[in-house]
Structure 1
Amino acid sequence: MAEFTTGEAVALELPLARIPSRAGAFLLDLVLQLFLAFSLVYVGILVLSAADADSAWFAVLGVVTIVTVLVGYPVCSETVSRGRSLGKAAFGLRVVRADAGPIDFRHALTRGLAGAMVDFWMLGAFGAVAVITSLCSAQGRRVGDVLAGTVVVHTRQAMPRPALAAAPPWLSGWATQLDPAAVSDELAAAMRQYLSRLGTLTPPAQHHLGTALVEAVCRAMRCAPPTGYPPYHVLGAVLARRQQLSRH
């Protein structure tokens, strides 16, 4: 766990992603990148051969393929999904800012360039630099994370109870659009009880009761529940928004 201070000066603890899970996500992304590279080269060769292009165009194809695969893939995927490449999504990881907020294109570009040049490929000795810097960092940050001001966290591990007072960073944008005035005090009490008892419930009970509460809460607020997140993340975000509005 690591403590973050959000933009609203709220202390928030999040589970850090360490080398094993990050390595698994990296290897899955690497497989996808190799497939992307093969596809680009195959299509490019067909097009250039049909056009009877000279060798200079094949050199351009190689450069474009390398840049697209090593930089374009991580930058585009992390920008579009706000911190999740396909490999990170499969392993339940997400890149967040140092204040636990969602990243944008600037952060993704810095991480992508640093990954291609320092952490993994050009100077990274096939990931040795990334591993060494992660081991030396209390928050498991590689060079790209340090330069971009980001941290990689788990999104599937249970958040500790004190963190439930603040919305998970990956749901903060969704939570700011909510108007939880329609959530009754009884329903809010049921949400708090569920979150406080989360550690004592079996996984099936957590999912069944949490899903029922999420559906009831979103039905009351007349909004669609966010997909791909465990119920306790959604309920924690709603409660945090409710508490925030009650203080104003």
Structure 2
Amino acid sequence: MAEFTTGEAVALELPIARIPSRAGAFLLDLMLQLALAATLGYLLVLMMLATDADSAWFSVTAVITLVAVLIAYPVVSETVSRGRSLGKLAFGLRVVRADAGPIDFRHALTRGLAGAIVDFWMLGAFGAVAVVTSLCSREGRRVGDVLAGTVVVHTRPTMPVPSLAVAPPWLAGWSAQLDPSGISDELAAAARRYLTRLPTLTPPTQHYLGTRLVEAMCAALRCPAPVGYPPYHVLGAILARRQQLSRV
């Protein structure tokens, strides 16, 4: 995590993108660039053959293709999407300014030119310079980021909507008699996480964790657990009762 101060003097903490995720995004973008180069080169060659162009035009075609692939692709994609090429989009990354604001064409052009010349291709030894500079930077910046004043971060996930537990109808009468004041916030949060993660747990894990949580909950409530019901029914009933009283 790194702290950014916005133009409004608001402090934000954003997770910095490190080499593994950035390398994955770069490789995906590279595959798209190769496909773009093949398509663009093929179309230009067809046009020259149709017009019976001389060999000099083939050199021009190679330069145009190279510039379009190495520079135009990252610059255009990051400018239009405000810092997210297709590779970064797939890996949940975004380029932002040093104050966490969105980048513009100037930032994208600086990063694109530095990437083609210094970080990756012409002088970058196929990415060795970018890797070394990223390792030496606390924010994982390559040369292009330093020159453009940008940082690559993981996009902040949207906060999930708080889910409300619901008591099963067959346990509503039992839960209505409970006094959940003895249940700590930590224990309630653990039970809520269990219910949220329930679909991802294997049946043995569901039973083991659920049973342990029910035992802890009922110990805090000082009452025996109802017999014959799966743990998630009991936990849902207890949490629903706790929610009900917290709104009173």
Displacement after TM superposition at 1:157 (Å): 4.9
> Which residue matches 2:23?
23
The within-5 A match list for 1:72-91 is 72-91=72-91
> Which residue matches 1:66?
66
User: Letter of the aligned partner of 1:149 in structure 2?
Assistant: G
Kept in 2: contact 1:111–1:148 (CA 8 A): yes
Seen in structure 2, the aligned counterparts of structure 1 residues 203 and 85 have a Cα distance that, compared at 3 Å, is: farther
Unpaired runs of 5+ in structure 2?
Answer: 160-188, 200-248
Q: Distance in 2 between matches of 1:113 and 1:104?
A: 15
Seen in structure 2, the aligned counterparts of structure 1 residues 101 and 61 have a Cα distance that, compared at 3 Å, is: same
Displacement after TM superposition at 1:99 (Å): 0.2
Displacement after TM superposition at 1:158 (Å): 7.1
Displacement after TM superposition at 1:204 (Å): 8.9
Q: Deviations over 1:164-205 (max 9, x none)?
A: xxxxxxxxxxxxxxxxxxxxxxxxxxxxxxxxx7xx643699
> Which residue matches 2:101?
101
Q: Distance in 2 between matches of 1:51 and 1:115?
A: 35
Seen in structure 2, the aligned counterparts of structure 1 residues 158 and 18 have a Cα distance that, compared at 3 Å, is: farther
> Which segment drifts farther, 58-67 or 149-158?
149-158
> Which residue matches 1:117?
117
Q: Distance in 1 between matches of 2:69 and 2:95?
A: 19
User: Letter of the aligned partner of 2:20 in structure 1?
Assistant: P
Q: Distance in 1 between matches of 2:68 and 2:50?
A: 23
Q: Distance in 2 between matches of 1:39 and 1:103?
A: 29
Seen in structure 2, the aligned counterparts of structure 1 residues 58 and 151 have a Cα distance that, compared at 3 Å, is: same
> What's the secondary structure of 1:96's corresponding residue?
strand
Displacement after TM superposition at 1:156 (Å): 5.0
Q: Distance in 1 between matches of 2:75 and 2:197?
A: 35
Displacement after TM superposition at 1:8 (Å): 0.2
Q: Distance in 2 between matches of 1:10 and 1:156?
A: 16
Displacement after TM superposition at 1:47 (Å): 0.7
> Which residue matches 1:133?
133
RMSD between aligned residues: 2.1
Q: Distance in 2 between matches of 1:30 and 1:44?
A: 21
Q: Distance in 2 between matches of 1:46 and 1:31?
A: 23
Percent sequence identity over aligned pairs: 79
Kept in 2: contact 1:94–1:154 (CA 8 A): yes
Q: Distance in 1 between matches of 2:131 and 2:105?
A: 24
Kept in 2: contact 1:44–1:61 (CA 8 A): yes
> Which residue matches 1:41?
41
Q: Distance in 1 between matches of 2:158 and 2:132?
A: 28
Q: Distance in 1 between matches of 2:63 and 2:49?
A: 17
Larger Rg computed on CA atoms: 2
Seen in structure 2, the aligned counterparts of structure 1 residues 50 and 20 have a Cα distance that, compared at 3 Å, is: same
> Which residue matches 1:181?
none
Seen in structure 2, the aligned counterparts of structure 1 residues 25 and 204 have a Cα distance that, compared at 3 Å, is: farther
Seen in structure 2, the aligned counterparts of structure 1 residues 100 and 41 have a Cα distance that, compared at 3 Å, is: same
Displacement after TM superposition at 1:138 (Å): 0.1
Kept in 1: contact 2:14–2:156 (CA 8 A): no
The within-5 A match list for 1:136-155 is 136-155=136-155
Q: Distance in 1 between matches of 2:85 and 2:157?
A: 18
Seen in structure 2, the aligned counterparts of structure 1 residues 33 and 156 have a Cα distance that, compared at 3 Å, is: same
Q: Distance in 1 between matches of 2:97 and 2:63?
A: 31
Q: Distance in 2 between matches of 1:139 and 1:153?
A: 9
Seen in structure 2, the aligned counterparts of structure 1 residues 203 and 96 have a Cα distance that, compared at 3 Å, is: farther
Kept in 2: contact 1:121–1:127 (CA 8 A): yes
Kept in 1: contact 2:130–2:143 (CA 8 A): yes
What TM-score results when the alignment is normalised by the length of structure 1? Answer: 0.65
Q: Distance in 2 between matches of 1:124 and 1:204?
A: 48
